[in-house]
Amino acid sequence: MELSNLLQSKEWEEFQNSQGKKTFRIKDALLIKNKLAFGKSYLYCPNGPKELDEEFIKETKSLAKKEKSIFIRVEPLENINIQYSPARSAQRSKRGAAIFNIRKTRSIQPPSTLILDLTKTEDRLLSEMKSKTRYNLKLAKKRGVEIEITTDPEKIDIFHKILNETTSRDQFRGHSKDYYKKMLRFFGKEGIIKLYLAKYENEYIGANIVSFFGNTASYLHGASSNKYRNVMAPYLIQWQAICDAKEKGLKYYDFWGIAPDDDPRHPWAGVTRFKKGFGGKQVNHPGTFDVVISKKWYMIYKVFRFLNRLVRK
């Protein structure tokens, strides 16, 4: 299953450049430079590289030192073909292979996701849904929920208002309104990213941001109002995006993140149940890792991050 990867595309690189960020390519993997205090930085490889191996780390470490980056954050999609230690700096094993100081860290892009096969017929997709999902989808249509599709950046105001309700209710953080506007302004012109809005009784009650890139559509961001939850608008928004992706001839629909192993205590347990109601196949990636370049500065960074989270709470 070879999904198109928006976050490693030249389009995503151009978007990052438009935001004033430096970007680099190592073995065709995109790295984005993120500035830190004291003139330091870190390099971030979103949804990549495909495989994390010694050659990639060596080349990236050389770049990191030039850019005063204290670590490299990677999200390998498939394999980690190296030896690594979470406690020591890079050294050599008895067999001569390098052992790198790599720490598993909090995920940025979700390590587990759900992929829907769009080559199936619409009837087949409906039949493979859970019965409750089919029922809620029919209910949303029966109640008269309307779906509006737009690339107008000013409509992000609607999305962000609903998102604020969602983040307060479900206890997570979203991006700034300005970030979403810039993203839709940049990608909306080519139809790569679209905003889906659900309307009921002349009031917006749900919104999704969906990308259409290569052979894959991805559900990037979603929000739902506290009002009219009984009309099941999120089900209809999702289904509309799935049908649109299928009509465009795309092969996959990526639900972009579920709780691993159906953990009922996971913060995403509720949204995972919602997504899995549509069917699909679970795909797992290794996770997010930091390749430490400077142990001292990395520890300082971790302390500041910890204190920042305490202040936010």
> What is the pLDDT at residue 88?
54
Mean pLDDT of 91-108: 75
> What is the pLDDT at residue 308?
80
For residue 153, the 8-state DSSP code is G
pTM confidence score: 0.92
Any long-range contacts for 17-23 (C-beta under 8 Å, 24+ apart)? Answer: 18/182, 18/186, 19/182, 22/67
Q: Which domains are assigned to the chain?
A: 6-109+286-312 (3.40.630), 112-284 (3.40.630.30)
Q: 117 and 251 in contact (C-beta within 8 Å)?
A: yes
* Cα distances (Å, whole numbers) of residue 300 to 37, 90, 122, 130, 291: 11, 19, 53, 48, 15
Per-residue model confidence as pLDDT tens digits over 101-152:
999 999 999 999 999 999 999 999 999 999 999 999 999 999 999 999 999 9
Q: Which residue has the tokens 């490889």?
A: 45
Q: Establish whether the linkage from the previous residue to 49 is cis, with ω within 30° of 0.
A: yes
Q: Count Cα neighbours of 245 within 13 Å in the Cβ-side half-sphere.
A: 32
Split at pLDDT 50, 70, 90, the class of 89 is low
Mean pLDDT of 224-245: 97
Angle 188-190-196 from CA coordinates, rounded to 5°: 40
Per-residue model confidence as pLDDT tens digits over 5-51:
999 999 999 999 999 999 999 999 999 999 999 999 999 999 999 99
